[in-house]
Amino acid sequence: MRSVAEHSIEGDIGISHGDIVQEVSEIFPDKHIKIRLYCRSGGRAGKAMSVLKEAQYINVFNAGGLDDVRKKRGLSE
């Protein structure tokens, strides 16, 4: 079984894609804030990006899969 740390990056906010609009609107009411999403493979992040854009968030990006994000940040092993 994978640990929670294997599913996220320390310091990032973890939100289920099913709750994304509600939780993001509570945490970030400014719809111009830059939001980068990722998940295990990038698929759910893409779905979350779509619903956030429908909710009028304009600076939302799918950063891809967790491994890709770790590499981009220089966190890969």
Could you tell me if residue 19 is inside a domain? yes
Instruction: Give the pLDDT score at 76.
Output: 78
Average pLDDT over residues 19-48: 95
Instruction: Give the pLDDT score at 43.
Output: 94
| Entry pTM | 0.85
Could you tell me if residue 77 is inside a domain? no
pLDDT at 3 > cutoff 90: no
Q: What proportion of the chain, given as a percentage, has pLDDT over 90?
A: 83
Taking the alpha carbons at both ends of the chain, their separation in whole angstroms is 19
Could you tell me if residue 32 is inside a domain? yes
Q: What's the domain range around 62?
A: 4-72
We report the CATH number of the domain holding residue 50 as 3.40.250.10
Phi and psi at residue 70, to the nearest 5°: -60, -45
List C-alpha distances in Å: 27 to 14, 24, 70.
Answer: 12, 5, 24
Average pLDDT over residues 60-67: 96
Could you tell me if residue 25 is inside a domain? yes
Please, are residues 13 and 33 in contact by the beta-carbon 8 Å criterion?
A: no
